[in-house]
Chains A and B, each alone.
Chain A
C-alpha cells in the first residue's frame, strides 16, 4: 500500500494500488465505472478497506456508505485491522462516512420498500448537493457502498426499487464521474454482474484463495495472499 503520496490522480484510470490487481483489471478502473467486490469471506471487506486507504493516500475523497456498520465500528476496524487512523481524513472532509441507520431499523426488517426508498431518496438528495460542490472543485471521488447484498434482495420484487437503483447508479456514474465500489456477498454475483461494469470476485477453491475479474480481464482465477493484513495478487501466477 502506497502511503503519503497525496497527489490527486488525474489519469484516465483509478488505480486501486493493490499489488497485481490493477494489472488484472487493465491499468485500473476507468472513471465513471461501477465495480462490485464479491466474495464469500471477510476478505472482500479487507480489499475494500485497502482500496479506500490507498485512495485517501492518493488524494481522493471517499464517500463511504455502509449498511452494515456505524462509523464508530468502521473507524475501529480500519484502525485495528489496517492500522489506519481516519481522524485526519475525516477532519479535512476527505473521508465521509454515511450510515443510513434507519435502514437497519424497523422499516428495513419489515422490508417496507416504500419506506426504504423514501429514506434512500432523501439520503441521495442530500449527498447530491454535497458531491456537486466537490465535483465543481474538480476533486476525484471514490464512492463506496458496503454491503449491497441486503439491497439486492429487493431487486426484482418491486419495480420502483429498480428505478431507484438505476437513477442512483446513473447519477453516480455520469454526474459524479466517480468510481463506485460496492461490496456484495458471493451468492449475489449474478445480480452484481448485471448492475456493475465488472466484478472482482474472491473465492476459496479447494482451500486456495483465488481472485477473478469478470468481463474486462483476460486473466482467469488467480491466487492471492494476505500479507501483513493486506491482500496481494500472487503476480507470479498471472
Chain B
C-alpha cells in the first residue's frame, strides 16, 4: 500500500495497515492504547512506523518514542517502503524521540513533544526496552503502575491513540500488560511445510466486535499488509 491521504474518522483511527481496519470495525478507538506483541522479525517496528506515517499524511501528527533504534535507522527503514520520515519530521507531522538519561525525563519529553505537535498518534518502541533501560528507577514491583501511568499519559495527557510495542517473552514475565490497554494484537510466525508465514491475531479489542481467527499478513514493498481473500469492487 502506498500511504495516501484518506478521510480520518472522528471516533475511529485508521491504522494505515491495509486490511486491518476492516477487522476492527473501521479502526482503533480514538484515545485508546493498543499493545502490539510479537517475536523478533514479525514487523512490530514497521507496524508503528506505518501507523504514524499514515497519520502524519492524513492530518494526524504523531510521536514515536524509540528506545533502541536511532532516528537514522528509522529514516532508512521508512525509506525502504517509500516513506520520507525525515521530511515528515521537518514538516512537524512526526517526531521521533530517543531515550533520555532518566525515565521521568523521557516521559516528560514525550508529553512535551506530543503537545507541541498537537499529536493525535503515539507509539512506544518498545515497552520492554523502555522499562529495562532504567533499572535503578523502575523496580519490577512498580512496573504495573508505571505501565498504567504510561497508557494514561499517552491517551489522556498527550491526547493520542497509542501503539505500544512489546515482546512475547516480556509478556510472559509481566502479564499485566494484557489487562491495561484496550486492545492486544499478537503477531506470530508459523512454518507451513517449509514456508514461513506471518499471522496476526486480535486477542482483545474492547468495545469492538473483532475477528477471532488468525489473519495472514506479509511485509511487502509497501509495508505491512493483511491478506484479504476477496477484494471488493474498485480495489
On A, residues with C-beta under 8 Å from B are 205-210, 212, 219-221, 223, 225-228, 234, 236-237
Question: Would you call B225 an interface residue if the criterion is a C-beta within 8 Å of the partner chain's C-beta atoms?
Answer: yes
Question: Would you call B135 an interface residue if the criterion is a C-beta within 8 Å of the partner chain's C-beta atoms?
Answer: no
- Which residues of B in the span 14-70 have a Cβ within 8 Å of any Cβ on A? none
Verify A234–B192 contact, CB threshold 8 A. no
Verify B193–A221 contact, CB threshold 8 A. yes
Verify A220–B193 contact, CB threshold 8 A. yes
Cα–Cα distance between A227 and B194 once the two chains are bound (Å): 28
A212 cross-chain contacts in B, Cβ below 8 A: 193
Cα–Cα distance between A46 and B193 once the two chains are bound (Å): 25
Which 8 pairs from chain A and chain B are nearest by CB?
Answer: A220-B195, A236-B220, A237-B218, A227-B231, A221-B192, A223-B227, A225-B229, A208-B216
Cα–Cα distance between A210 and B227 once the two chains are bound (Å): 11
- Shortest CB–CB separation between residue A171 and chain B, in angstroms? 34
Question: Would you call B230 an interface residue if the criterion is a C-beta within 8 Å of the partner chain's C-beta atoms?
Answer: yes
Cα–Cα distance between A16 and B122 once the two chains are bound (Å): 47
Would you mind naming 28 contact pairs between A and B with Cβ atoms under 8 Å apart?
A205-B192, A206-B213, A206-B214, A207-B213, A208-B216, A208-B227, A209-B229, A210-B192, A212-B193, A219-B195, A220-B193, A220-B195, A221-B193, A221-B195, A223-B216, A223-B227, A225-B228, A225-B229, A225-B230, A225-B231, A226-B229, A226-B230, A228-B233, A236-B218, A236-B221, A236-B222, A237-B216, A237-B227
Cα–Cα distance between A226 and B229 once the two chains are bound (Å): 7
A219 cross-chain contacts in B, Cβ below 8 A: 195
- Shortest CB–CB separation between residue B225 and chain A, in angstroms? 6
B193 cross-chain contacts in A, Cβ below 8 A: 212, 220-221
B222 cross-chain contacts in A, Cβ below 8 A: 236
Give chain B's interface residue range (CB within 8 Å of chain A).
10 to 19
- Shortest CB–CB separation between residue A47 and chain B, in angstroms? 15
A228 cross-chain contacts in B, Cβ below 8 A: 233
- Among A219, A220, A226, max chain B CB count under 10 A is at A220
Cα–Cα distance between A7 and B140 once the two chains are bound (Å): 72
Verify A234–B230 contact, CB threshold 8 A. no
Question: Would you call B112 an interface residue if the criterion is a C-beta within 8 Å of the partner chain's C-beta atoms?
Answer: no
- Shortest CB–CB separation between residue B62 and chain A, in angstroms? 25
Nearest residue in A to B216 (C-beta to C-beta)?
Answer: A208
Cα–Cα distance between A234 and B218 once the two chains are bound (Å): 10
Cα–Cα distance between A144 and B86 once the two chains are bound (Å): 56
B216 cross-chain contacts in A, Cβ below 8 A: 208, 223, 237
A227 cross-chain contacts in B, Cβ below 8 A: 230-231
Cα–Cα distance between A212 and B197 once the two chains are bound (Å): 14
B213 cross-chain contacts in A, Cβ below 8 A: 206-207
- Shortest CB–CB separation between residue B72 and chain A, in angstroms? 28
Verify A220–B192 contact, CB threshold 8 A. yes
Verify A208–B229 contact, CB threshold 8 A. yes
Cα–Cα distance between A115 and B222 once the two chains are bound (Å): 59
A205 cross-chain contacts in B, Cβ below 8 A: 192
B233 cross-chain contacts in A, Cβ below 8 A: 228
Cα–Cα distance between A221 and B190 once the two chains are bound (Å): 12
Cα–Cα distance between A33 and B220 once the two chains are bound (Å): 33
Q: A212-B193, A225-B228, A234-B227 are in contact. List 15 more A-B contacts (CB 8 A).
A: A207-B213, A209-B229, A210-B192, A220-B192, A223-B227, A225-B227, A225-B231, A226-B230, A227-B230, A228-B233, A236-B220, A236-B222, A237-B216, A237-B218, A237-B227
